[in-house]
Structure 1
Amino acid sequence: MAHDLPHFLFQMTSLRISPDLLLYIYCGLIVLSVVPFGLVDILPQTLILILMCILGGVAVVLYGPPERGQWVFGTALAIFSLMALWILFQTVEIPFTRSDDLVWAKARTMAAAAKTISVEPADTLAALLQIALPAVTFLTGLIVADRSKDDQAMLRFLASAAGILAMYGLYQFLFLPDTLLGETKKAYQESLTATFVNRNTNATFFGLGLLMQLTLLFDSFLFKTDKASAELQSNATLPRLYYCFISLATFAALMLTQSRAGVFLTAFAILVYTPFLASQWLRIFPNSFVRLGSRWLRVAVVIAAACLGTGFFLLFASKAMLRANIQGLEDARFCIWPDVVRATYNNWLFGTGFGTFRTVFSGYRDSRCGIFNIFDRAHNTYLEGFLTLGVIFPVVALLVLAALLFIFWRGYRNRRRNRHYAVLGLAATILVWGHALVDFSIQIPGFSVFYAAFLSGVVCVCYKHTLKPAASKNAALHKYNNDEIELELIY
Structure 2
Amino acid sequence: MTRPVPASAGARCVAAAQAGPRPAAAPAVAAGQRLLEWLFFASVILAVMPFGAVHTVPLGLSALCTCLILVLSLGRPVSNPAVGRLLLDAALVAAVLVGLLVLQRIPAQSLLAVDPAGNRLSQDFGVVRPTISINSEATAWSLVPLVAPILSFVAALIVFGSDRAAFRLARFLRVFGLSVVVFGLAQFLLVPNTILIFEKWTYLGSLTATFVNRNSAATFLGLVALIWFGQFLGTTRKLDWGDLAERTCSFQWRGDDAVADTLRAACAAMLSLVALFLSASRGGLIATAIGFLVVFAVMGVRTQNRDVGPNWRSIVGYGSIVTGFILFGGLALQRLNEHGADDSRFCTYWSTLSAVGDNWLFGTGFGTFADIFPLYRDVACAGIEGVWDRAHNSYLEATLGLGVSFLAILLLVLWRLVSMFRRGVGWRHRQRHLVATGLGALVLVATHAGVDFSIQIHGVAMYAASILAMASVVALGRGESSCGTESKNKSDVPGK
Normalised to the residue count of structure 2, the TM-score between the two structures is 0.84
Give, as a single letter, the amino acid of the residue that structure 2 aligns with 1:302: S
Whole-angstrom CA distance in 2 between matches of 1:278 and 1:321: 28
| Aligned twin of 1:197 | 212
**Quick check: 1:310 aligned with 2:305?**
no
The CA distance in 1 between the partners of 2:312 and 2:261, in whole Å, is 29
Residue of structure 1 aligned with 2:280, choices 244, 258, 263: 258
Using a 3 Å threshold, how does the CA distance of structure 1 residues 392 and 278 change in structure 2: closer, same or farther?
Answer: closer
How many Å separate the matches in 1 of 2:367 and 2:160? 32
* Structure 1: stretches of 5+ with no match in the other structure: 1-14, 287-292, 487-491
Bigger CA drift: 216-225 or 407-416?
216-225
What is the rounded CA distance, in whole Å, between the counterparts of 1:351 and 1:444 in structure 2? 21
C-alpha distance in 2 between matches for 1:203 and 1:193? 8
Deviation at 1:197, TM superposition (A): 0.7
Residue identity matched to 2:430: R
The verdict on how the C-alpha distance between 1:405 and 1:350 changes in structure 2, with shifts beyond 3 A counting, is: same
Quick one: which of 354, 364, 381 aligns to 2:376? 364
Amino acid in the other structure paired with 1:57: V
CA distance in 1, matches of 2:341, 2:105: 38
For 2:347, the equivalent position in structure 1 comes to: 335
* CA shift for structure 1 position 464: 1.2
1:316 offset after TM fit, Å? 5.0
Tell me the SS of whatever aligns to 2:362.
coil
Q: 1:345 aligns with which of 357, 361, 368?
A: 357
**2:287 and 2:448 in contact (8 A); partners too:** yes
Number of the residue aligned with 2:187: 172
Instruction: Please state if 1:235 is matched with 2:248.
Output: no
**Matching of residue 85 in structure 1 with residue 107 in structure 2:** no
Q: Deviations over 1:287-344 (max 9, x none)?
A: xxxxxx9876x72332232222332343355543332121232431111111111111
Bigger shift: residues 98-107 or 187-196? 98-107
Superimposed CA distance per residue, residues 51-85 of structure 1 (whole angstroms, 9 cap, x where no aligned partner): 21111221233445864422211111111111110
**Unmatched segments (≥5 aa) in structure 2:** 1-28, 242-246
Distance 1:344 1:316, change over 3 A: farther
| Contact residue 206 and residue 278 of structure 2 kept, 8 A | yes
Output one character per residue of 1:428-476: Cα deviation in whole Å (capped at 9) or x when no partner: 1221100011000111111111111111000011011347x7xxx6657
- 2:15 counterpart residue number: none
Helix, strand or coil: the match of 2:106? coil
Distance in 2 separating the partners of 1:107 and 1:384: 19
> Corresponding residue for 2:22?
none
Q: Is the contact between residue 117 and residue 358 of structure 2 (CA under 8 Å) also seen in structure 1?
A: no
Describe the shift of the 1:23–1:16 C-alpha distance in structure 2 as closer, same or farther (beyond 3 A).
closer
Pair 183,123 (structure 1): closer, same or farther in 2 beyond 3 Å: same
Give, as a single letter, the amino acid of the residue that structure 2 aligns with 1:157.
Answer: F
1:456 aligns with 2:443: no
Shift in alpha-carbon separation, 1:366–1:447, aligned structure 2, 3 A: same
Shift of 1:175: 1.4
Q: Which amino acid aligns with 1:366?
A: D
1:151 maps to what in 2?
166
1:31 to 45, 56, 70: 45
Residues 118, 442 of structure 1: CA spacing in aligned structure 2 closer, same or farther, 3 A cutoff?
same
Alignment of 1:366-445 (within 5 A): 366-369=378-381, 370=383, 372-445=385-458
**CA displacement at 1:184 relative to structure 2:** 1.7
Q: Name the stretch that deviates more: 323-332 or 76-85.
A: 323-332
Equivalents in 2 of 1:199, 1:252: separation in Å?
14
Deviation at 1:371, TM superposition (A): 5.7
TM-score if structure 1 supplies the norm length? 0.85
Rounded Cα–Cα distance in structure 2 between residues aligned with 1:224 and 1:79? 42
Other-structure match for 2:61: 47
Instruction: Report % sequence identity.
Output: 31
Q: Which residue of 1 aligns with 2:10?
A: none
* Whole-angstrom CA distance in 1 between matches of 2:80 and 2:182: 35
For 2:205 and 2:176, the matched residues in 1 are separated by: 24
Task: Quote the Cα distance in structure 1 between the aligned partners of 2:307 and 2:98.
Answer: 55
Matching residue of 1:289: none
Describe the SS at the equivalent of 2:366: coil
2: CA distance between counterparts of 1:216 and 1:474? Answer: 24
Deviation readout 1:176-224 (Å, 9 max, x if unpaired): 1221111121110110111111100111111111010111123333436
Q: 1:184 — aligned with what?
A: 199
- Residue in 1 that maps onto 2:177: 162
